[in-house]
Amino acid sequence: MGSIHNKMPFTSKLLILLHLLLGLGAVFGGIMLVIDPSGELIKMPITLLENSPFNSFLIPGIILLVVLGVLPRFLDQFL
C-alpha cells in the first residue's frame, strides 16, 4: 500500500514546494521588517513608502508575515 504522496500528481507537489518557498521567504522578510520597520536591516529604502499610507514597514511586514508567510504554511497541510 503506497503513501498518499505517491498518488499525488506532480502539479500538486510543485504547488506545495512553491508554497513552502513563498512561506519561508515571507516569514523571513516579515520578521526582518517587524524587527526593523525602517527597512535598513534588509536594505529597503523608506522612500518606497512615499506614496503609500504607511510611515514605516511595520504594517507591511506584519501583512507579509501573516498573509504570505503563515497562511500558505497553514494551507499546505490541506494539499
> What are the helix (H) ranges across the chain?
4-7, 10-35, 58-63, 71-76
Does 64 reside within a domain? yes
Give the model confidence (pLDDT) of 62-76 as tens digits.
999 999 988 877 876
Residue 4 inside a domain? The answer is no
Structural domain includes residue 39? yes
Number of domains in the chain: 1
What are the pLDDT digits (tens) for 39-50? Answer: 999 999 999 999
Distance of CA 21 to the CA centre of its chain: 8
Placement of cell 507591511 in the chain: 60
pLDDT tens, position by position, 5-48? 578 899 988 988 888 888 899 999 999 999 999 999 999 999 99
Residue 11 lies in a domain: no
Domain that holds residue 59: 22-76
